[in-house]
Amino acid sequence: MKRYILPIILAIALMGTGVWGYQQYTQKVDYHTYLDLQFQRQFYELIGHVENAQVDLSKAMVSGSNIDIAQYLNDVVKQSYMAQEKLTQLPFNHGAIRTTEKFLSQLGDYATAMVNKSLEGIVLEENEMSTLEELHTYANYLSQQLIELQQQVVSGGVNFGDLRKEGNRRLALVDSQMEDLNLINIEERMQDYPELIYDGPFSEHLKDVRPRLQGNTVNEGEAIRIVTEEFKEFNLANARVIGRIDNAPIEGYYIRGERNGDANGRGVSAAVSRTGGKIIWYLDPRDIGESQLGREEAIERAEEFLKQKGYEDMVATYAMAYEGEMVVNFAYQQEDVTVYTDLIKVKVALDNGDIIGLETEGFLINHHDRDIPEPQISKEAAQERLSSGVEVETVKLALIPTAGNKEILCYEFKVKFGADHYLIYIDADNGQQRRVLLLIEGEDGTLTI
């Protein structure tokens, strides 16, 4: 009898494991199915959105009036962004779909730019109409291909859950699945769609930023000297070049160093531009003690620092305190116009007023001597464009960037509406409202949205 005890226990254990394993397995199948179906839903929706975008685009093209065009293009915007959102959340290899993702973003973005034009009463030019036509051709192609893909998915050739699982690990397998999916072909074909240059955040021209920064080319030794010199008052020592920054709008040297005295072993880092030898950014992540400086003192400290480094005519536009440090934003001031594109950010440690961060890329890329034109409409005329419900507190002139990085001269009205403050920008040329920012005032500073 005794010799059966162990086998019986083992047999029971084995059965238990089997039951447990089966439960785990059904659970896994359950989740897997759920995931696969979620992805399938997204895929169906993607096709729907692309189709709708394509149809709306064609409807916009046959519409006669600006308002009708704007209406249909608005739908294009919505549909293409939703399509983009769905596509990016499907488990496809990024390399296999990036052009398609880009196409959908730019389609929506371009349509937005055209909507804005139409709403301003501008009739779309011939080349813009032909661009829309070309975009329509590609949208049409894309939706046809996606419908073909759909057939494959329906017939069971593709399991999205599996695609995700393989991820980047078993590349050969994923690649072959991708080939089956014909995504690569779509991607290749999509690559030929025209380069789009327009006033929008995804426009092609924003990729090749030509910085305005000028000056002599500096070598590594000079770059080290520049960093050591600029941050001398903070005892920067042992600066050395770690690497080069290439293929970027502003190329330069990546430098690390230590601070004598209060080193916490992490050191500081900075980048110096190859052209002109300017500090592009500086970061000192040292521990920060109890705050001793107030808001005003910190801003003053940052102003002083910039002046010392040769940045004249910079005005603090906004400041925000975070645990022990304060980030102060500066914009260039040309006569009475605040130039918001020429941005510098300075980070001040609130324990002893050290400068622990600097960021000048906006300034280095954009700053140049500008001929700022006189405003075409008066301050009073601009104010008439505001809603009657707002209470104007201050007004000044400002140069702000558009979505496509063009600079426009605006009146900046700081207004109060209900409990909140807003900044409203009215174009000084034609009185169009260009932008509205909501100011969120906290104890630590003001945030703009």
Partner 1 sequence: MKKYAVLLTSVLSIFLVVSLYVNGIFAQNLSWGSRGEEVREVQSRLTRWGYMEGAVDGVYGAETYRGVRNFQQSNGLTVDGVIGPQTRAALGMPTTTPTPTTPASEGVSRSDDVNLLARAIHSESRGEPYEGMVAVGAVILNRVRSPEFPNTIAGVVYQPCAFEPVKNGTINNPPGDDAFRAARDALNGWDPTSGALYFWNPATATSRWIWTRTITLRIGRHVFGI
Q: Which of 63, 88, 150, 333 binds partner 1 (CB under 8 A)?
A: 88
The span of 7-15, 151-159, 358-366, 384-392 binding partner 1 (CB under 8 A) equals: 358-366
Q: Which of 61, 90, 241, 316 binds partner 1 (CB under 8 A)?
A: 90
Q: Which residues contact 332 (CB under 8 A, 6 or more apart)?
A: 313, 314, 315, 338, 339, 342, 363, 367
Amino acid type, 368: H
Side-chain-facing half-sphere of 277: CA atoms under 13 Å = 16
**CA 387 to chain CA mean position, Å:** 31
* Minimum gap (Å) between residue 154 Cβ and partner 1: 21
Residue from 14, 188, 203 nearest 100 by CA: 188
State yes or no: residue 136 binds partner 1 (CB under 8 A): no
| Pick 282 or 425: Cβ nearer partner 1 | 282
| Pick 84 or 145: Cβ nearer partner 1 | 84
Q: Which of 51, 187, 354, 361 binds partner 1 (CB under 8 A)?
A: 361
Residue from 162, 213, 202, 191 nearest 33 by CA: 162
State yes or no: residue 115 binds partner 1 (CB under 8 A): no
* Minimum gap (Å) between residue 271 Cβ and partner 1: 7
Q: Which residue has the tokens 């500090």?
A: 279
The span from the CA of 168 to the CA of 93, in Å, is: 8
The span from the CA of 305 to the CA of 345, in Å, is: 11
Q: Give the Cα-Cα-Cα angle 194, 197, 201 (nearest 5 degrees).
A: 115
SS3 242: strand
* Minimum gap (Å) between residue 324 Cβ and partner 1: 10
State yes or no: residue 269 binds partner 1 (CB under 8 A): yes
Residue from 61, 62, 80, 56 nearest 129 by CA: 61
* Angstrom distances, CA of residue 123 to CA of 114, 160, 343: 9, 45, 35
State yes or no: residue 135 binds partner 1 (CB under 8 A): no
Q: Are the beta carbons of 382 and 397 closer than 8 angstroms?
A: no
Q: 198 exposed, middle or buried (CB, 10 Å; 0-12, 13-18, 19+)?
A: buried
State yes or no: residue 95 binds partner 1 (CB under 8 A): yes
The span of 8-16, 151-159, 278-286, 394-402 binding partner 1 (CB under 8 A) equals: 278-286
**CA 279 to chain CA mean position, Å:** 23
Strand (E) or helix (H) holding 116? helix 94-119
* Minimum gap (Å) between residue 225 Cβ and partner 1: 20
Please give the size of the binding site for partner 1, defined by CB under 8 A.
65
State yes or no: residue 101 binds partner 1 (CB under 8 A): yes
The span of 50-58, 92-100, 399-407, 424-432 binding partner 1 (CB under 8 A) equals: 92-100
Q: Which of 73, 236, 250, 382 binds partner 1 (CB under 8 A)?
A: 250
Kindly identify the residues of this chain, within the stretch 426-445, that bind partner 1 according to CB under 8 A: 438-440, 442
* Minimum gap (Å) between residue 387 Cβ and partner 1: 14
| Pick 54 or 105: Cβ nearer partner 1 | 105
* Minimum gap (Å) between residue 252 Cβ and partner 1: 8
Q: Which residues pair with 410 in a beta bridge?
A: 398, 427
| Pick 338 or 375: Cβ nearer partner 1 | 338
* Minimum gap (Å) between residue 369 Cβ and partner 1: 24
Q: Which residue has the tokens 């507190």?
A: 393
* Angstrom distances, CA of residue 438 to CA of 37, 55, 413, 419: 40, 36, 12, 11
173-179 contacts, C-beta under 8 A, 24 or more apart: 174/93, 175/93, 178/92, 178/93, 178/96
| Pick 61 or 241: Cβ nearer partner 1 | 241
Binding string to partner 1 for residues 300 to 339, with x set by CB under 8 A, is what? --------------------x-xx---x------------
Backbone angles phi, psi at 170, to 5 degrees: -100, 85
The span of 10-18, 127-135, 145-153, 247-255 binding partner 1 (CB under 8 A) equals: 247-255
State yes or no: residue 106 binds partner 1 (CB under 8 A): yes
Interface positions with partner 1 (CB under 8 A):
81, 84-85, 88-95, 98-99, 101-102, 105-106, 109, 164, 167-169, 171, 201-202, 242-250, 254, 256, 266-267, 269, 271, 280-281, 283, 285, 320, 322-323, 327, 343, 345, 347, 357, 359, 361-362, 417-420, 438-440, 442, 447, 449
